[in-house]
Amino acid sequence: MESGRLSKTYSRASIAPSMVSMVLALCLFVIGAGAQAPASLQTALAELDTSIAAEFAKDGVGGISVGVISGSKLVWSKHYGYAETEKKRAPTNDTAYRIGSITKQFTALALLQLVEDGRMRLTDPLEKYVPEIKSIKNTPAGTPPITLLQVATMHAGLAREPGCAQHSDGPLSVWQRKVIDCLPGTTYVNEPGTTFLYSNIGYASLGLAIERAAGKPFTTFVTERILKPLGMTRTAWEPSSDLRRDLAHGYQRIRDGGGAATRGAADRELEGRGYRVPNGALFSTVTDLTKFVAWELGEGPAGILKKETQDANYARVFASSATFSAGYGVGFQVNRRGDLVFIGHGGSTAGYHAAALVHRPTKLGVVVFRNCDSCTPDAGPTATRILQRIAGS
Protein backbone atom coordinates (compact mmCIF):
# COMPACT_ATOMS: atom_id res chain seq x y z
CA MET A 1 0.00 0.00 0.00
CA GLU A 2 1.37 3.36 -1.00
CA SER A 3 1.14 6.41 1.22
CA GLY A 4 -2.12 8.21 0.64
CA ARG A 5 -3.81 5.35 -1.16
CA LEU A 6 -5.65 2.25 -0.08
CA SER A 7 -6.45 -0.51 -2.52
CA LYS A 8 -8.67 -3.35 -1.35
CA THR A 9 -9.72 -6.37 -3.36
CA TYR A 10 -12.80 -8.40 -2.48
CA SER A 11 -13.76 -11.58 -4.29
CA ARG A 12 -17.29 -12.87 -3.86
CA ALA A 13 -16.31 -15.25 -1.08
CA SER A 14 -12.97 -13.90 0.05
CA ILE A 15 -14.27 -11.92 2.99
CA ALA A 16 -17.06 -12.66 5.40
CA PRO A 17 -19.87 -10.10 5.77
CA SER A 18 -18.98 -9.65 9.44
CA MET A 19 -15.57 -8.42 8.41
CA VAL A 20 -16.76 -5.81 5.89
CA SER A 21 -17.42 -3.07 8.44
CA MET A 22 -14.01 -3.63 10.05
CA VAL A 23 -12.21 -3.45 6.70
CA LEU A 24 -14.22 -0.41 5.66
CA ALA A 25 -13.39 1.38 8.89
CA LEU A 26 -9.69 0.67 8.27
CA CYS A 27 -10.14 1.91 4.68
CA LEU A 28 -11.54 5.22 5.86
CA PHE A 29 -8.90 5.58 8.57
CA VAL A 30 -6.04 5.06 6.13
CA ILE A 31 -7.52 7.45 3.58
CA GLY A 32 -7.97 10.08 6.24
CA ALA A 33 -4.49 9.60 7.68
CA GLY A 34 -2.56 9.15 4.46
CA ALA A 35 -4.31 11.39 1.97
CA GLN A 36 -6.10 13.66 4.44
CA ALA A 37 -9.36 13.17 2.59
CA PRO A 38 -12.17 15.43 3.83
CA ALA A 39 -14.75 13.78 6.07
CA SER A 40 -17.41 14.34 3.42
CA LEU A 41 -15.36 12.37 0.89
CA GLN A 42 -14.76 9.58 3.40
CA THR A 43 -18.49 9.33 4.05
CA ALA A 44 -19.31 9.35 0.36
CA LEU A 45 -16.77 6.61 -0.39
CA ALA A 46 -18.09 4.45 2.43
CA GLU A 47 -21.64 4.73 1.10
CA LEU A 48 -20.53 4.06 -2.46
CA ASP A 49 -18.45 1.05 -1.46
CA THR A 50 -21.42 -0.53 0.29
CA SER A 51 -23.69 0.21 -2.67
CA ILE A 52 -21.31 -1.12 -5.33
CA ALA A 53 -20.53 -4.26 -3.32
CA ALA A 54 -24.24 -5.01 -2.88
CA GLU A 55 -25.00 -4.39 -6.53
CA PHE A 56 -22.08 -6.53 -7.69
CA ALA A 57 -23.13 -9.37 -5.36
CA LYS A 58 -26.43 -9.65 -7.26
CA ASP A 59 -24.50 -10.46 -10.43
CA GLY A 60 -21.05 -11.67 -9.53
CA VAL A 61 -19.75 -12.33 -13.06
CA GLY A 62 -16.18 -11.17 -13.72
CA GLY A 63 -15.04 -8.21 -11.69
CA ILE A 64 -15.07 -4.46 -11.33
CA SER A 65 -12.23 -2.08 -10.46
CA VAL A 66 -12.75 1.47 -9.25
CA GLY A 67 -10.29 4.32 -8.73
CA VAL A 68 -10.98 7.79 -7.33
CA ILE A 69 -8.52 10.55 -8.21
CA SER A 70 -8.06 13.86 -6.42
CA GLY A 71 -5.69 16.24 -8.16
CA SER A 72 -2.69 14.16 -9.15
CA LYS A 73 -3.27 11.28 -6.70
CA LEU A 74 -5.20 8.06 -6.67
CA VAL A 75 -6.76 8.47 -3.24
CA TRP A 76 -9.04 5.43 -3.17
CA SER A 77 -9.36 2.22 -5.14
CA LYS A 78 -11.43 -0.91 -4.73
CA HIS A 79 -11.82 -4.20 -6.56
CA TYR A 80 -14.71 -6.63 -6.53
CA GLY A 81 -14.87 -10.13 -8.01
CA TYR A 82 -12.28 -11.61 -10.32
CA ALA A 83 -10.00 -10.69 -13.17
CA GLU A 84 -10.07 -14.37 -14.12
CA THR A 85 -12.93 -16.31 -12.62
CA GLU A 86 -11.58 -19.74 -13.54
CA LYS A 87 -8.47 -19.21 -11.43
CA LYS A 88 -10.15 -17.05 -8.76
CA ARG A 89 -7.55 -14.37 -9.57
CA ALA A 90 -8.56 -11.02 -8.12
CA PRO A 91 -7.81 -7.72 -9.91
CA THR A 92 -5.45 -5.07 -8.59
CA ASN A 93 -4.60 -1.50 -9.53
CA ASP A 94 -2.12 -2.90 -12.07
CA THR A 95 -4.47 -5.37 -13.74
CA ALA A 96 -4.90 -4.56 -17.44
CA TYR A 97 -8.39 -4.11 -18.91
CA ARG A 98 -9.46 -3.18 -22.43
CA ILE A 99 -10.64 0.43 -22.31
CA GLY A 100 -12.43 0.55 -25.67
CA SER A 101 -13.42 4.01 -26.85
CA ILE A 102 -11.49 5.77 -24.10
CA THR A 103 -8.76 5.26 -26.72
CA LYS A 104 -10.42 8.08 -28.69
CA GLN A 105 -9.20 10.56 -26.09
CA PHE A 106 -5.61 9.64 -26.90
CA THR A 107 -6.27 9.85 -30.63
CA ALA A 108 -7.77 13.32 -30.20
CA LEU A 109 -4.86 14.42 -28.01
CA ALA A 110 -2.42 13.28 -30.72
CA LEU A 111 -4.39 15.42 -33.21
CA LEU A 112 -4.13 18.46 -30.93
CA GLN A 113 -0.39 17.89 -30.53
CA LEU A 114 0.08 17.91 -34.29
CA VAL A 115 -2.02 21.07 -34.51
CA GLU A 116 0.31 22.68 -31.98
CA ASP A 117 3.27 21.41 -34.00
CA GLY A 118 1.87 23.19 -37.08
CA ARG A 119 1.55 19.93 -39.02
CA MET A 120 -2.25 19.85 -39.05
CA ARG A 121 -5.15 22.27 -38.69
CA LEU A 122 -8.56 21.41 -37.27
CA THR A 123 -10.13 22.96 -40.34
CA ASP A 124 -8.09 20.81 -42.73
CA PRO A 125 -10.19 18.49 -44.89
CA LEU A 126 -9.71 14.86 -43.92
CA GLU A 127 -9.03 14.03 -47.56
CA LYS A 128 -5.83 16.12 -47.42
CA TYR A 129 -4.30 13.24 -45.44
CA VAL A 130 -6.64 10.39 -46.37
CA PRO A 131 -7.66 10.88 -50.02
CA GLU A 132 -9.22 7.42 -49.88
CA ILE A 133 -12.08 9.05 -47.97
CA LYS A 134 -13.46 10.10 -51.37
CA SER A 135 -14.50 6.48 -51.94
CA ILE A 136 -17.20 6.69 -49.25
CA LYS A 137 -20.68 6.15 -50.61
CA ASN A 138 -23.60 8.60 -50.67
CA THR A 139 -21.48 11.75 -50.36
CA PRO A 140 -24.07 14.54 -50.06
CA ALA A 141 -24.05 16.58 -53.26
CA GLY A 142 -22.72 20.10 -53.02
CA THR A 143 -21.21 19.80 -49.53
CA PRO A 144 -17.56 20.68 -48.88
CA PRO A 145 -15.12 17.96 -47.82
CA ILE A 146 -15.43 16.90 -44.18
CA THR A 147 -12.88 18.46 -41.83
CA LEU A 148 -10.73 17.01 -39.08
CA LEU A 149 -12.79 18.98 -36.56
CA GLN A 150 -16.04 17.49 -37.84
CA VAL A 151 -14.62 13.98 -37.62
CA ALA A 152 -13.11 14.57 -34.16
CA THR A 153 -16.40 15.93 -32.77
CA MET A 154 -18.64 13.32 -34.43
CA HIS A 155 -20.24 15.80 -36.81
CA ALA A 156 -18.94 14.41 -40.12
CA GLY A 157 -22.18 12.56 -40.90
CA LEU A 158 -20.39 9.22 -41.24
CA ALA A 159 -22.05 5.93 -40.33
CA ARG A 160 -21.06 4.42 -37.01
CA GLU A 161 -19.47 1.34 -38.61
CA PRO A 162 -18.24 0.46 -42.11
CA GLY A 163 -20.20 -2.00 -44.19
CA CYS A 164 -17.30 -4.22 -45.17
CA ALA A 165 -16.96 -7.85 -44.06
CA GLN A 166 -14.69 -8.87 -41.16
CA HIS A 167 -13.72 -5.27 -40.44
CA SER A 168 -12.97 -6.08 -36.81
CA ASP A 169 -10.71 -9.07 -37.48
CA GLY A 170 -6.94 -8.97 -37.83
CA PRO A 171 -3.82 -8.07 -35.85
CA LEU A 172 -2.55 -4.59 -35.08
CA SER A 173 -0.24 -4.69 -38.09
CA VAL A 174 -3.14 -4.61 -40.57
CA TRP A 175 -5.36 -1.88 -39.12
CA GLN A 176 -4.41 0.77 -41.71
CA ARG A 177 -5.21 -1.58 -44.58
CA LYS A 178 -8.50 -2.50 -42.94
CA VAL A 179 -9.52 1.16 -42.74
CA ILE A 180 -8.65 1.81 -46.39
CA ASP A 181 -10.39 -1.36 -47.57
CA CYS A 182 -13.51 -0.52 -45.58
CA LEU A 183 -13.95 3.09 -46.69
CA PRO A 184 -15.76 2.13 -49.94
CA GLY A 185 -18.24 0.19 -47.79
CA THR A 186 -18.85 3.17 -45.51
CA THR A 187 -21.73 5.58 -46.06
CA TYR A 188 -22.79 9.07 -45.09
CA VAL A 189 -25.92 8.99 -42.96
CA ASN A 190 -26.31 12.75 -42.43
CA GLU A 191 -25.11 15.86 -44.18
CA PRO A 192 -21.67 16.76 -42.75
CA GLY A 193 -21.64 19.39 -40.04
CA THR A 194 -25.38 19.28 -39.34
CA THR A 195 -25.91 16.71 -36.58
CA PHE A 196 -24.10 14.60 -34.02
CA LEU A 197 -23.54 11.00 -35.09
CA TYR A 198 -21.06 8.76 -33.30
CA SER A 199 -18.67 7.16 -35.78
CA ASN A 200 -15.99 4.57 -35.08
CA ILE A 201 -14.87 4.44 -38.69
CA GLY A 202 -14.54 8.23 -38.56
CA TYR A 203 -12.06 8.00 -35.69
CA ALA A 204 -10.18 5.17 -37.37
CA SER A 205 -9.79 7.43 -40.43
CA LEU A 206 -8.66 10.25 -38.15
CA GLY A 207 -5.96 7.97 -36.75
CA LEU A 208 -4.76 7.24 -40.28
CA ALA A 209 -4.59 11.00 -40.98
CA ILE A 210 -2.55 11.50 -37.81
CA GLU A 211 -0.15 8.75 -38.85
CA ARG A 212 0.46 10.30 -42.23
CA ALA A 213 0.86 13.83 -40.87
CA ALA A 214 3.24 12.63 -38.15
CA GLY A 215 5.37 10.62 -40.56
CA LYS A 216 5.46 7.61 -38.25
CA PRO A 217 3.09 4.85 -37.15
CA PHE A 218 0.08 6.16 -35.26
CA THR A 219 0.63 3.78 -32.35
CA THR A 220 4.28 4.81 -32.06
CA PHE A 221 3.37 8.51 -32.08
CA VAL A 222 0.82 8.10 -29.27
CA THR A 223 3.21 5.96 -27.25
CA GLU A 224 6.12 8.39 -27.62
CA ARG A 225 4.21 11.64 -27.23
CA ILE A 226 1.56 10.68 -24.66
CA LEU A 227 1.97 7.33 -22.91
CA LYS A 228 5.69 7.55 -22.12
CA PRO A 229 5.67 11.20 -20.93
CA LEU A 230 2.75 10.38 -18.63
CA GLY A 231 4.53 7.29 -17.30
CA MET A 232 1.77 4.96 -18.49
CA THR A 233 4.03 1.91 -18.63
CA ARG A 234 1.24 -0.69 -18.53
CA THR A 235 -0.92 0.91 -21.21
CA ALA A 236 -0.49 -0.82 -24.55
CA TRP A 237 -2.01 -1.46 -27.97
CA GLU A 238 -1.53 -5.21 -27.71
CA PRO A 239 -1.54 -7.62 -24.76
CA SER A 240 2.17 -8.35 -24.33
CA SER A 241 3.27 -11.40 -22.37
CA ASP A 242 3.74 -9.12 -19.36
CA LEU A 243 0.22 -7.71 -19.61
CA ARG A 244 -1.25 -11.18 -20.10
CA ARG A 245 0.17 -12.26 -16.74
CA ASP A 246 -2.18 -9.79 -15.05
CA LEU A 247 -4.97 -9.35 -17.56
CA ALA A 248 -8.64 -9.08 -16.73
CA HIS A 249 -10.33 -11.54 -19.07
CA GLY A 250 -13.61 -10.33 -20.55
CA TYR A 251 -16.85 -12.26 -20.07
CA GLN A 252 -20.09 -12.18 -22.03
CA ARG A 253 -23.40 -13.67 -21.00
CA ILE A 254 -24.60 -16.59 -23.09
CA ARG A 255 -27.98 -15.83 -24.58
CA ASP A 256 -30.54 -18.15 -22.96
CA GLY A 257 -27.70 -19.58 -20.94
CA GLY A 258 -29.31 -19.14 -17.55
CA GLY A 259 -26.81 -16.48 -16.49
CA ALA A 260 -23.74 -18.40 -17.67
CA ALA A 261 -20.91 -16.43 -19.23
CA THR A 262 -18.16 -17.14 -21.72
CA ARG A 263 -14.90 -15.38 -22.47
CA GLY A 264 -14.52 -16.81 -25.98
CA ALA A 265 -15.18 -13.65 -28.01
CA ALA A 266 -13.14 -11.42 -25.72
CA ASP A 267 -10.17 -13.80 -25.77
CA ARG A 268 -10.29 -13.99 -29.58
CA GLU A 269 -10.10 -10.21 -29.79
CA LEU A 270 -6.85 -10.31 -27.84
CA GLU A 271 -5.28 -11.31 -31.16
CA GLY A 272 -6.47 -8.09 -32.81
CA ARG A 273 -9.50 -5.89 -33.52
CA GLY A 274 -9.04 -5.17 -37.22
CA TYR A 275 -9.67 -1.53 -38.07
CA ARG A 276 -10.54 -0.65 -34.47
CA VAL A 277 -7.18 0.73 -33.34
CA PRO A 278 -7.43 4.56 -33.07
CA ASN A 279 -11.02 4.20 -31.92
CA GLY A 280 -10.75 1.39 -29.37
CA ALA A 281 -7.67 -0.82 -29.03
CA LEU A 282 -5.87 0.32 -25.89
CA PHE A 283 -5.40 -1.68 -22.68
CA SER A 284 -4.80 0.15 -19.42
CA THR A 285 -4.90 -0.14 -15.64
CA VAL A 286 -6.29 1.84 -12.73
CA THR A 287 -2.78 3.05 -11.90
CA ASP A 288 -2.01 4.12 -15.46
CA LEU A 289 -5.33 5.71 -16.36
CA THR A 290 -5.11 7.71 -13.13
CA LYS A 291 -2.14 9.51 -14.69
CA PHE A 292 -4.18 10.50 -17.74
CA VAL A 293 -7.09 11.61 -15.56
CA ALA A 294 -4.68 13.72 -13.48
CA TRP A 295 -3.47 15.34 -16.70
CA GLU A 296 -7.06 16.12 -17.64
CA LEU A 297 -7.44 17.76 -14.25
CA GLY A 298 -4.46 19.99 -15.02
CA GLU A 299 -2.06 18.08 -12.76
CA GLY A 300 0.03 16.24 -15.32
CA PRO A 301 3.55 16.88 -16.57
CA ALA A 302 4.29 19.86 -18.80
CA GLY A 303 4.95 19.25 -22.46
CA ILE A 304 1.97 17.07 -23.35
CA LEU A 305 -0.05 20.06 -24.52
CA LYS A 306 0.00 23.76 -23.77
CA LYS A 307 -2.35 24.67 -20.95
CA GLU A 308 -4.16 27.20 -23.09
CA THR A 309 -4.68 24.58 -25.80
CA GLN A 310 -6.03 22.09 -23.28
CA ASP A 311 -8.38 24.62 -21.67
CA ALA A 312 -9.60 25.85 -25.05
CA ASN A 313 -10.31 22.28 -26.11
CA TYR A 314 -12.54 21.62 -23.10
CA ALA A 315 -14.46 24.79 -23.94
CA ARG A 316 -15.18 23.56 -27.49
CA VAL A 317 -18.24 21.36 -27.11
CA PHE A 318 -21.08 20.48 -29.47
CA ALA A 319 -24.42 19.36 -28.06
CA SER A 320 -25.33 15.74 -28.71
CA SER A 321 -28.78 15.79 -27.10
CA ALA A 322 -31.82 17.99 -27.49
CA THR A 323 -31.88 18.59 -23.73
CA PHE A 324 -28.29 19.91 -23.80
CA SER A 325 -27.42 17.42 -21.06
CA ALA A 326 -24.76 15.75 -23.21
CA GLY A 327 -22.19 16.83 -25.76
CA TYR A 328 -19.01 15.89 -27.56
CA GLY A 329 -15.76 17.80 -27.95
CA VAL A 330 -12.51 16.88 -29.67
CA GLY A 331 -12.22 13.39 -28.27
CA PHE A 332 -14.28 13.70 -25.10
CA GLN A 333 -17.86 13.28 -23.99
CA VAL A 334 -19.67 15.80 -21.82
CA ASN A 335 -22.47 14.95 -19.40
CA ARG A 336 -24.41 17.33 -17.18
CA ARG A 337 -25.97 16.17 -13.94
CA GLY A 338 -27.73 19.13 -12.37
CA ASP A 339 -25.09 21.81 -11.84
CA LEU A 340 -22.23 19.34 -12.31
CA VAL A 341 -20.57 18.95 -15.70
CA PHE A 342 -18.36 15.90 -16.27
CA ILE A 343 -15.96 15.29 -19.15
CA GLY A 344 -14.28 12.07 -20.20
CA HIS A 345 -15.22 8.99 -22.16
CA GLY A 346 -16.69 5.54 -21.89
CA GLY A 347 -15.71 2.42 -23.75
CA SER A 348 -17.04 -1.03 -24.53
CA THR A 349 -15.65 -4.01 -26.39
CA ALA A 350 -16.45 -7.71 -26.27
CA GLY A 351 -16.34 -8.57 -22.57
CA TYR A 352 -15.28 -5.15 -21.30
CA HIS A 353 -16.84 -1.87 -20.26
CA ALA A 354 -14.85 1.12 -19.01
CA ALA A 355 -15.31 4.76 -18.04
CA ALA A 356 -13.02 7.63 -17.06
CA LEU A 357 -14.67 10.89 -15.97
CA VAL A 358 -13.44 14.12 -14.39
CA HIS A 359 -14.97 17.15 -12.74
CA ARG A 360 -12.37 19.85 -13.29
CA PRO A 361 -13.72 22.49 -10.81
CA THR A 362 -13.21 20.13 -7.84
CA LYS A 363 -10.21 18.33 -9.41
CA LEU A 364 -11.89 14.98 -8.86
CA GLY A 365 -11.91 12.05 -11.26
CA VAL A 366 -13.11 8.46 -11.43
CA VAL A 367 -11.95 5.38 -13.34
CA VAL A 368 -14.13 2.27 -13.54
CA PHE A 369 -13.35 -0.99 -15.33
CA ARG A 370 -15.79 -3.91 -15.73
CA ASN A 371 -14.77 -7.16 -17.40
CA CYS A 372 -18.27 -8.34 -18.26
CA ASP A 373 -20.87 -7.43 -20.89
CA SER A 374 -24.48 -6.88 -19.85
CA CYS A 375 -23.59 -7.19 -16.19
CA THR A 376 -24.36 -5.05 -13.18
CA PRO A 377 -23.05 -2.71 -12.06
CA ASP A 378 -22.01 -1.27 -15.42
CA ALA A 379 -18.91 0.92 -15.69
CA GLY A 380 -20.45 4.08 -17.15
CA PRO A 381 -23.38 4.54 -14.75
CA THR A 382 -21.15 3.56 -11.82
CA ALA A 383 -18.52 6.18 -12.71
CA THR A 384 -21.21 8.84 -13.12
CA ARG A 385 -22.83 7.95 -9.81
CA ILE A 386 -19.50 8.05 -7.97
CA LEU A 387 -18.41 11.36 -9.40
CA GLN A 388 -21.82 12.91 -8.90
CA ARG A 389 -21.72 11.84 -5.25
CA ILE A 390 -18.19 12.97 -4.42
CA ALA A 391 -18.13 16.16 -6.50
CA GLY A 392 -21.44 17.22 -4.98
CA SER A 393 -20.33 16.54 -1.40
**Looking at the structure, do residues 313 and 234 belong to the same domain, yes or no?**
yes
> Helix 39-59 to helix 17-30 angle, to the nearest 10 degrees?
150
Residue 318 has pLDDT above 80, yes or no: yes
**Looking at the structure, do residues 77 and 107 belong to the same domain, yes or no?**
no
pLDDT level of residue 41 (50, 70, 90 thresholds): confident
Residue 4 has pLDDT above 60, yes or no: no
pLDDT level of residue 38 (50, 70, 90 thresholds): low
Over residues 273-285, mean pLDDT: 97
Q: Can you tell me the distance from the alpha carbon of 145 to that of 190, in angstroms, rounded to the nearest whole number?
A: 13
**Looking at the structure, do residues 76 and 148 belong to the same domain, yes or no?**
no
Residue 198 in domain? yes
Residue 253 in domain? yes
Residue 266 in domain? yes
**Looking at the structure, do residues 36 and 160 belong to the same domain, yes or no?**
no
This prediction's pTM: 0.90
Contact 99, 279 (CB under 8 A): no
**Looking at the structure, do residues 30 and 140 belong to the same domain, yes or no?**
no
Residue 174 has pLDDT above 80, yes or no: yes
Domain ends where: 21, 51, 81?
81
pLDDT level of residue 20 (50, 70, 90 thresholds): very low
Residue 385 in domain? no
**Looking at the structure, do residues 52 and 152 belong to the same domain, yes or no?**
no
Residue 188 in domain? yes
Please tell me the predicted confidence (pLDDT) of residue 22.
31
Give the chain's domain count.
Answer: 2
Q: What CATH number does the domain containing 115 carry?
A: 3.40.710.10
Each residue's pLDDT tens digit, 181-216: 999 999 999 999 999 999 999 999 999 999 999 999
Please tell me the predicted confidence (pLDDT) of residue 33.
33
Residue 334 in domain? yes
**Looking at the structure, do residues 127 and 194 belong to the same domain, yes or no?**
yes
Residue 89 in domain? no
**Looking at the structure, do residues 100 and 43 belong to the same domain, yes or no?**
no
**Looking at the structure, do residues 34 and 109 belong to the same domain, yes or no?**
no
**Looking at the structure, do residues 50 and 126 belong to the same domain, yes or no?**
no
Please tell me the predicted confidence (pLDDT) of residue 37.
58
Average pLDDT, whole number, for the chain?
A: 90
Over residues 300-328, mean pLDDT: 92
Please tell me the predicted confidence (pLDDT) of residue 57.
94
Residue 86 in domain? no
Each residue's pLDDT tens digit, 95-110: 999 999 999 999 999 9
Domain ends where: 49, 81, 113?
81
The secondary structure of 359-373 as a DSSP string is EGGGTEEEEEEE-BT
Each residue's pLDDT tens digit, 115-135: 999 999 999 999 999 999 999
* Domain region containing 38: 1-61+71-81
Please tell me the predicted confidence (pLDDT) of residue 29.
31
Residue 346 has pLDDT above 70, yes or no: yes
pLDDT level of residue 30 (50, 70, 90 thresholds): very low
Residue 237 has pLDDT above 80, yes or no: yes
Residue 390 has pLDDT above 50, yes or no: yes
The percent of residues above 70 in pLDDT, for the chain, comes to 89
**Looking at the structure, do residues 235 and 119 belong to the same domain, yes or no?**
yes
**Looking at the structure, do residues 197 and 265 belong to the same domain, yes or no?**
yes
Domain ends where: 13, 46, 81?
81
Please tell me the predicted confidence (pLDDT) of residue 323.
87
Residue 5 has pLDDT above 90, yes or no: no
pLDDT level of residue 258 (50, 70, 90 thresholds): low
Greater confidence (358 vs 4) lies with: 358
Greater confidence (321 vs 88) lies with: 88
